[in-house]
Amino acid sequence: MKVLVIGSGGREHALVWKLAQSPRVSALFCAPGNAGIESQARCIPIAAEDIPQLKAFAVSEGIDLTVVGPEGSLALGIADEFRKVKLKIFGPTRGAAEIESSKIFAKDLMIRHQIPTASARSFDRVAPALAYLAHHPLPVVVKAEGLAQGKGVVVATTHEQAREAATDMLEKQRFGAAGQRVLIEECLDGAEVSVMAFTDGKTVVPMVPAQDHKRVGDGDTGPNTGGMGAYAPAPLVTPSLQTTILRTVLCPIVDALSRIGRPFHGVLYAGLMIVRGAPYVLEFNARFGDPETQVVLPLLKTDLVDVMEAVVEHRLDQLTVEWHKQSSVCVVLTSAGYPGSYQTGLPIHGLPESRPSDDVLVFHAGTRREGQAVVTAGGRVVGVTGLGPRLAIAREQAYKVVGTIAFQGRHFRSDIASHSLQANP
């Protein structure tokens, strides 16, 4: 079968890598792809949000299955458009994807269906928001309502920081249309985990739980990013807690979306805070997480094509999804200045042409080819994923290869997974 992956980041490279392992795939395409993806798929120069061109390509090429990586394409309704012309596509409709594209929609739905989450209020004007913040206990969370590539969340520890965040979003339009409304939310104190699940709108199959590292600096310091690294499985999520998450979060939100006529087909991502052993929803995403995909997919034993087809054909209940008994750790290398402004076009040295060993995978995120050279083309440049029978070994494998990859201004966190190792030696 012919498969098309849409997107150009580390998540999409991980998807391409996993799909390429399927004996069922005869041809693999990625639009637009990157310098790493091109070794495993034919890269098509069509932007991820150019839905008419993507649809035309899928029709002309006879694509059997399209897999959507980025949230922007889903929010624009790519799944709706593909289904209109009977193209199989793995990803939710525009209506279902609003669980991610509108934090206020998601919050209202959770409250209506008694899904545990932080209390919050929404504002579309700066004056009432500032008045509300003046009396809100600290710390407080200020969120842009729409899609902001993982950077539209500010955890303010002072009222001045909170006022600045609300003003940046509502008045200075830092995130454009995504910040025209903000959510001011209580700050939950606990440990954050990511649980992704396959769902066909009825059956929900959780993946191996992961922990992401959002802050740019060691020790969880500095601003939020799209993700500086991750590891899986997260020891914090015991089998008992996984059952609780499925019962109180994942199944209820899938049921709620179906009840309002927006059945969810694809990957549902729950960003959770575990507070005194209980899960609370921080956010939902309507697709694979990034960088979580880079640690979760290497642990998937079942053919990913089989899983995706079962979702698209509404027969996920007939499939058993199996996982390898391993650990994985991903360390993200970023451009200097990320998540703020950064320079691109810098040569990258030490990249392996293929994976350096069975224990390490290098997923390209923000790269492009210039002649014979591979150069930086984004804030997050590459992710290095180490695998091993234990978390400590997987971490050691990842950092060993991180040290061999170099580009001007290279930045990475040196403490990915270290907190978990201290708690679970």
Q: Which residues, listed in sequence order, are joined to residue 140 by a DSSP beta bridge? A: 156, 186
Cα Rg for the chain, rounded, in angstroms? 20
Bridge-based pairing of strands 42-43 and 27-32 is parallel
Using DSSP's 3-state secondary structure scheme, residue 200 falls into coil
Q: What is the pLDDT along the chain (425 residues), one digit of tens a residue?
A: 999 999 999 999 999 999 999 999 999 999 999 999 999 999 999 999 999 999 999 999 999 999 999 999 999 999 999 999 999 999 999 999 999 999 999 999 999 999 999 999 999 999 999 999 998 999 999 999 888 776 788 899 999 999 999 999 998 888 888 778 899 999 999 999 999 999 999 999 999 999 999 999 999 999 889 899 999 999 999 999 999 999 999 999 999 999 999 999 999 999 999 999 999 999 999 999 999 999 999 999 999 999 999 999 999 999 999 999 999 999 999 999 999 999 999 999 999 865 546 799 999 999 999 999 999 999 999 999 999 999 999 999 999 999 999 999 999 999 999 988 887 76
What's the CA gap between 157 and 352, in Å, rounded?
42
Say how many CA atoms lie within 13 Å of 12 toward its Cβ: 30
Q: Where on the phi/psi map is residue 109: left (φ > 0), alpha (ψ -120 to 50), or beta?
A: alpha
Which class for 90: exposed (0-12), middle (13-18), buried (19 or more C-beta within 10 A)?
buried
pTM: 0.93
In order of their start, the domains of the chain are 2-90 (3.40.50.20), 97-113+190-324 (3.30.470.20), 119-186 (3.30.1490.20), 326-425 (3.90.600.10)
Buried b or exposed e, range 174-210, using 16+ CB within 10 angstroms: bbeebbebbbbbbebebebbbbbbbbbbbbbbbbbbb
Question: Which residues does 71 contact at the CB level (< 8 Å), separation at least 6?
Answer: 97, 100, 101, 147, 285, 286, 287
